[in-house]
Amino acid sequence: MSIAFEDFEKLDIRIGKVLTAEKVEEADKLLKLEVDFGPSEKGSEESSERIIRQIISGIAEFYNPEDLVGEQFPFLVNLEPRTIRGLESQGMLLAADADGGCVLLSPDKEVKNGSKIR
């Protein structure tokens, strides 16, 4: 299925760094991530005003939370927030399907948190 380029332009995909990761209680597949998307509009890169979002992701079967902390991944950040198991998810971690599992994508070198994917 093809989509118009204008539809693609509506997606806001950005690189974020995982600050914390933990399993969601009583949920085998869910991890709760706290992700840094860089300085807020008001702040500079050195500013303490950062965009931090909570992301709930169904990757707990494939990844240990401690292995994700400090790593950068692409996230879709302009989805409407969604409540999953009583927790608000403010975006979506992007991953590739692979043989019934998932593989996380990451930049081949560190980039600024909040860098836009285009």
Tokens matching residue 13: 């995909």
Tokens matching residue 65: 């939370």
Query: pLDDT digit of tens for each residue in the chain (118 aa)?
Result: 999 999 999 999 999 999 999 999 999 999 999 999 999 776 555 556 899 999 999 999 999 999 999 999 999 999 999 999 999 999 999 999 998 889 999 999 999 999 999 8
Domain ranges of the chain: 11-104
Three-class DSSP category at 9: helix
Confidence (pLDDT) at 22: 98
Confidence (pLDDT) at 40: 79
Three-class DSSP category at 89: strand
* CATH code matching the domain that covers 11-104, chosen among 2.40.50.140, 2.60.40.420, 3.30.460.10, 3.20.20.70: 2.40.50.140
CB burial of residue 65 (10 Å; 0-12, 13-18, 19+): middle
